[in-house]
Structure 1
Amino acid sequence: MCEIFCFNSNTPKQINKCLECFYNHSEEHPHGWGLATMQSDEFVINKEPIKATCSQHLKNILSNPVVGKNVFAHIRLATVGEIISPNCHPFIEADDNNRSWMLIHNGTIFDYPELDKYKDKENGDTDSERILLYIIDHINQFEKSKNAPSTIKERFNLLSNIIEDLSKNNKLNLMIYDGDLTYIHSNMKDTLFYLKNEDGFLIASTPLDDDENWKVVELNKLFGLIDGEIVFESDEHDNEFIFTEEHEKAMEEFLKHSVRWEND
């Protein structure tokens, strides 16, 4: 699968050391890397379909200070979709009210037919990009019905319902950002951790250092963060994802094909 990373704070901080530790995990996640930062209320996204430790572009980025309040990173172990740039995370899409949404995903959608209709609309061919398009459609429908932009709380409640439904029979570790709120969700044990300190929140698929204060993100809940603080927390749902032998066989079969694509 993949690994995901988020930094959320009330003031811009330099986080090169954390990112370097995160991207060093790419030996086991070699199919692409991505980095998203907010600058002047706009997303700046860099990504490539190559191993992070082999990317000269990423080395150039990390040779300068990476500073921000909201920073997201991803390294890909492909399970759905070819190893091409449009399939690298983060994904970004605007809703009908011109709000930009960003999503990164660690997991796989095994069972959710409603996403299939987005196969002809997405730029790549990943289930992750389809999740974002599905969310955007629901946001647009809600705001059209309301005849006004949604509030932060309304968006959180809407995503809580969407993500609970999506998480049935699917691994859904997500980080989403809508320009105001950072959404965090995990539904598989010991696959997402956080560290809260004076700098803000660090959230990653595995702890990035030996700090004993890293904790597991609470399972089966959606959290909303602003300025380094949890401002919303959903009720707990029942859709914990358990990785089975059938899932493992499906992953192994896909990885055989991905090696072939890399060697073509």
Structure 2
Amino acid sequence: MCEIFCFNSNTPKQVNECLECFYNHSEDHPHGWGLANMQSNEFVIDKEPMKASCSEHLKNILSNPVIGKNVFAHIRLATMGEIISPNCHPFTEADDNNRSWMLIHNGTIFDYPKLNDYIKKEKGNTDSERILLYIIDKVNEFERDKGRLSTIKERFNLLTDIVADLSKNNKLNLMFYDGDLTYIHSNMRDSLYYLKDDESFLVASTPLTDDENWKPVELNKLFGLIDGNIIFESEEHENEFILTEEHEKAIEGFLKSINRDDIND
């Protein structure tokens, strides 16, 4: 599948060392890379549909200090969608009130028919982009019904219900951002870890340093972060994802189709 990375802090910090370690995992996740850094209330996003270790563009980025309070990164092992730039994470979209959203995903949606409504609306052809479009539609619907902007807590509560529902029978390790909150969710064991200090919160698919304080992200909960601290924490849902032989066969079939396409090209 993929690996995901998030840095959330109360002050801008340089994250090159952690990013370099993260992107070194691209040998096992060769189908694309992405980087999002919030600067002046807008994300600066770079991504390419190629192995991170082979990217001159990424090397140039990491040769300079990467400094930020909200930094997200992704390396892709495709389980759905072509190996093209529009399918690389992060995905971004604005809601009806001009709030910018950003999402990265590690997992696969095996069973959620509601996302099919977005196949013709998305720029690429991944289940991950459809998740973002679905979330934004639900937020737009909520705010239209209320006749006003939602509060941070209202959005968190809404997203708690949406993510819990999406997680049924699906692997849903998510990191997304709504301009105020960074949201973190995992529903598969041993697939997401965090490191916390007084100023920052670092989350990644695997520990990126030798620090012994890395801990697994609690399963089946949605967390809301601001300035390196957990502001909101949801109740635990019951939708832990356990990879079955049937899931593995579906993923293997898709990966074989990618390899065949590469040979034909």
TM-score when normalising by structure 1? 0.99
What are the Cα deviations for residues 132-160 of structure 1, in whole angstroms up to 9, with x where unaligned?
A: 00000000000001111111000000000
What are the Cα deviations for residues 39-60 of structure 1, in whole angstroms up to 9, with x where unaligned?
A: 1100111000000000000000
Question: Is the CA contact (8 Å cut-off) linking 1:13 and 1:199 kept in structure 2?
Answer: no
Counterpart residue number, 1:151: 151
CA distance in 2, matches of 1:260, 1:6: 33
CA distance in 2, matches of 1:20, 1:29: 14
Deviation of the 1:209 alpha carbon: 1.6
* TM alignment of 1:1-264, pairs within 5 A: 1-263=1-263, 264=265
CA distance in 2, matches of 1:218, 1:258: 33
- What root-mean-square deviation, in Å, do the aligned CA atoms of Structure 1 and Structure 2 show? 0.6
Question: Is the CA contact (8 Å cut-off) linking 2:199 and 2:227 kept in structure 1?
Answer: no
Deviation of the 1:222 alpha carbon: 0.1
CA distance in 1, matches of 2:40, 2:190: 35
CA distance in 1, matches of 2:128, 2:250: 17
CA distance in 2, matches of 1:122, 1:98: 18
CA distance in 1, matches of 2:157, 2:35: 27
SS in structure 2 of the partner of residue 150 of structure 1? coil
Structure 1: 4+ residue segments shifted above 6 A: none
Gap runs ≥5 in structure 1 = none
Question: Is the CA contact (8 Å cut-off) linking 1:49 and 1:84 kept in structure 2?
Answer: yes
Deviation of the 1:257 alpha carbon: 1.1
SS in structure 2 of the partner of residue 171 of structure 1? coil
Number of residue pairs matched by the alignment: 264
Question: Is the CA contact (8 Å cut-off) linking 1:91 and 1:103 kept in structure 2?
Answer: yes
SS in structure 1 of the partner of residue 223 of structure 2? strand
Question: Is the CA contact (8 Å cut-off) linking 1:79 and 1:251 kept in structure 2?
Answer: yes
Question: Is the CA contact (8 Å cut-off) linking 1:83 and 1:262 kept in structure 2?
Answer: no
Question: Is the CA contact (8 Å cut-off) linking 1:195 and 1:203 kept in structure 2?
Answer: yes
Question: Is the CA contact (8 Å cut-off) linking 1:106 and 1:174 kept in structure 2?
Answer: yes
